[in-house]
Structure 1
Amino acid sequence: MIYRALLSITAFMFCLSLFLVHRATVLENDFRKLQRDIILQLNQPHSEGVDGSSKTREDIKRSSLQEAQTLLKLSASRVKRELGSCRAPASFLQLTANTNRQPDIRGNITVIPWTVSVQQGNAISQKENRIVVQEDGYYLVFGQVLFKSPNTLMGYIIRSWVSTRTGTKSKDLLCCLQEMPRDYPANTCYTSDTVQLHQDDELELVIPDRPHALISMDADSTFFGILQLK
């Protein structure tokens, strides 16, 4: 996963370099063409206007200047549009279960210890086993847990913690429930959704009412993450 992230960043920088070289070449050609047009117009003899009055050299210069300004505006607008199509990739963060630690039991709640698997950008960070949002916006939040408990139903909740004047309050964002097989107690529970989050919001994944839940700590089985939507 880290290799894919580095490959994505390298590809973006290569794309941006090619784009800048291309735009520099296009702008240079535009200026050369504009320079040739101005020289041709300045070397033309005085011509009669529609109303019969002669067009002076100052009129030609003024007209050429207006054409140059129009061309520069069109070139700048084209550069902005093409830069927008080659902008920086969105931030994302994925956590996987920390195999060096055991799940934390807090009353009737089980909390999975997480470690950073892959990360990109500055809009998202990790703090004390939680995901912290650094920028307002819309995000894709996702999670998966592989349960190995012989209970009838297993599941988890992804909730957000929001700071208020009176302290912090929690809000349930996503809920995942999965029925366990009778013969072989092993089943994954996956969920995801697009949510609006604000700066300093904190997300955590907890397993309620299952203090002795058996969980797979493999990276490809249990994970928790968020993706910034641009």
Structure 2
Amino acid sequence: MLYNSLLSIVAFLFCLSLFLVHRASVLENDFRKLQGDLILQLNQPRSEGVNGKMAKTSETREDIKPSAFQKAQSSLKMSFMREKREEGRCRAPTFLQLTACTNKQPDIRGNITVIYWTVAAQQGNAISQKENRIFVQEDGYYLVFGQVTFKSPSTVVGHIIRSWSSTETTSTELLRCLQEVPADAHPTNTCYTAGIVRLHRDNELELVVPYRQQALISTAADSTFFGIMQLN
């Protein structure tokens, strides 16, 4: 009895497997037919249509073109702006530093002492040295600095940095350095000043020592100097 039941189950499962294999074969044929229809449809010319009208897929593609072009144009513009910013950040600084001439002693002119300068370091074209002054050739903000070392004792030592303009007859004082020296102090004293100022094209900068006609000034490169650096 048990043997007959097992035999019936095996026969049923065998028939079921044959049926499933047949259905799988039918589905595979249907899938291949559908795939062929899709390939044929995609390979048809996009200009085909009814009564001379363009296919919808072609219209959709043409509608997308302006958007894609705008995106590409925007991407190129952003890339260009980024490159310009990188170029601005990597631009070498513009500066000029002068040191006192060792072969010329400072000259007394009225109530001021004029120091003769020579170029010690320079980079860029926005600043130049001419006629013992610093010439500014671009508008902007600049760091201006100066130092004078005195070798003789005095009650007060110092200097001023002033600006001249082609439209004005008088100078404008930009920076002043004053230091009171005790009578028993060492005869060598240094006065240094620096500051950020806004300058215009054709401004001329000059460093002078006022009211110290008898002062002895060191002309060593590390003692007396005058300079400027462009900040923008």
Normalised TM-score (structure 1): 0.72
1:111 to 106, 110, 114: 114
Separation in 2, partners of 1:79, 1:109: 53
Residues 47-196 of structure 1: matches in 2 within 5 Å?
Answer: 55-87=56-88, 88-164=91-167, 168-180=169-181, 182-196=184-198
Separation in 2, partners of 1:189, 1:44: 87
Q: Which amino acid aligns with 1:148?
A: K
Separation in 1, partners of 2:189, 2:75: 58
Per the TM alignment, residue 192 of structure 1 is displaced from its structure 2 partner at its CA by: 0.7
Q: Which amino acid aligns with 2:193?
A: T
**Where in structure 1 are there 5+ consecutive unaligned residues?**
1-42, 47-53
Per the TM alignment, residue 65 of structure 1 is displaced from its structure 2 partner at its CA by: 4.3
Q: Which has the greater radius of gyration?
A: 2
Q: Deviations over 1:164-210 (max 9, x none)?
A: 2xx63211110001123524111211111111111111000000000
- Say whether residues 1:197 and 2:199 are aligned partners: yes
Residues 33-52 of structure 1: matches in 2 within 5 Å?
Answer: none
Separation in 1, partners of 2:43, 2:201: 63
**Where in structure 2 are there 5+ consecutive unaligned residues?**
1-41, 47-54
Separation in 2, partners of 1:122, 1:62: 52
Separation in 2, partners of 1:175, 1:44: 84
Residue matched to 1:228: 230
Separation in 1, partners of 2:174, 2:207: 10
Contact 2:153 2:185 in 1 (8 A): no
Contact 1:163 1:169 in 2 (8 A): no
Count of matched residue positions in the alignment of Structure 1 and Structure 2: 180
Q: Deviations over 1:203-228 (max 9, x none)?
A: 00000000121111111111101111
- Say whether residues 1:213 and 2:215 are aligned partners: yes
Per the TM alignment, residue 107 of structure 1 is displaced from its structure 2 partner at its CA by: 1.6
Residue matched to 2:27: none
Contact 1:180 1:186 in 2 (8 A): no
| 3-state secondary structure, aligned to 2:61 | helix
Q: Which amino acid aligns with 2:86?
A: S
Contact 2:156 2:180 in 1 (8 A): yes
Separation in 1, partners of 2:57, 2:211: 89
Separation in 2, partners of 1:192, 1:110: 20
Per the TM alignment, residue 86 of structure 1 is displaced from its structure 2 partner at its CA by: 2.7
Q: Which amino acid aligns with 1:136?
A: D
Q: Which amino acid aligns with 1:122?
A: N
| 3-state secondary structure, aligned to 1:66 | helix
Contact 1:98 1:113 in 2 (8 A): yes
| 3-state secondary structure, aligned to 2:162 | strand
Normalised TM-score (structure 2): 0.71
| Identical residues among aligned pairs (%) | 60
Regions of 4+ moved over 6 Å: 43-46
Separation in 1, partners of 2:98, 2:194: 15
Per the TM alignment, residue 44 of structure 1 is displaced from its structure 2 partner at its CA by: 9.1
Q: Which amino acid aligns with 2:97?
A: Q
Separation in 1, partners of 2:158, 2:196: 20
Q: Which amino acid aligns with 2:99?
A: T
| 3-state secondary structure, aligned to 1:132 | strand
